[in-house]
Amino acid sequence: MPIAFKTVALIGRYKSRDVAGPLLELGSFLATRGCAVLVDDETVAASGVQEFPAATYDEIGAGADLAVVLGGDGSMLSAARALAPFGVPLVGVNQGRLGFMTDIALGSMREAIDAIVNGRYTLEERTMLQAVLMRAGAPVLRTLAMNDVVVGKGAAGRLIELIVSIDGQFVYDLRSDGLIVATPTGSTAYALSSNGPIIQPGVPAIALVPISPHTLSNRPIAVSDSAAIEIRIKRAPGAHLHYDGHPQNELVEGDHVLLERAPRRARFVHPPGYDYFAMLREKLHWSESLF
């Protein structure tokens, strides 16, 4: 039977030497299945594994048919941002904590990857966000986010004030600790802890979730993922812009954050038996008895 993915890239958890054993095991297994194996160059440096060719993300994007991430959700987020423009699909082997995006348990790694290489998988595309920070009429930052983009208060600990518009229409003047703009994938991350809705990945929506709003009637809302969202910084001492949990830029009054659906979607491969709601039940401990 011909293999479904001829060249497979392996990406390990950031700066982790613990990934060396599973990396060697999986790389050797894939080689016996007839796959060419590449390893992310930062993973090579961190793990010390040099049995396979090292490759940059650009080289992986140009040459790999599949990327396997051995890590947690943070590793998957980084890989998705880097590889979405190339259309390379990803699958995750969980070496983190919750693992909302890493479908495969370490103990069943071989069996699941073997099934995928044999063509037994489902392919899913997920929305990403494109963010542009405008200052004095000029862009000072362009970035992609897989989970969310957050305008958050700084160390001063005071409320910030934001003017939010959607498709050019004024929505509200928000006084809060900040605002989370989340994709369906990100709806189970920071947005969930701020009482945002869980959005099934196939739903074409973006969630706007206020963080501790001063006015309790400022509730989370979901808008079409074709919407253009604008956040103007009205008053924000020490506020910062974050994407996928990374602090990026300090914000000043008058800044505009422009958000829209990214032109390319991230692509994820799921092993046989994957069920989104079963994953939620497991990770969020739904249906557990209290007695």
Token pair 């982790």 is found at 16
Task: Quote the DSSP letter at residue 282.
Answer: H
Query: Could you give phi then psi for residue 287, rounded to 5 degrees?
Result: 70, 10
Query: What spatial distance separates the first Cα and last Cα of the chain, rounded to whole Å?
Result: 50
Other CB atoms within 10 Å distance of the CB of residue 287: 7
CA distance 109 to 11: 14
Residue 269, H or E segment: strand 266-270
Residue 137 CB-density burial (10 A; 0-12 exposed, 13-18 middle, 19+ buried): exposed
Catalytic residue among 73, 103, 225, 255: 73
CA distance 127 to 206: 9
Q: Is 73 a catalytic residue?
A: yes
**What residues contact residue 245 under an 8 Å CB cut-off, 6+ apart?**
74, 77, 147, 190
> Is residue 276 a contact partner of residue 201, using CB atoms and an 8 Å limit?
yes
Vertex 13: Cα angle to 264 and 50 (nearest 5) = 105
Q: Which residues are catalytic?
A: 73
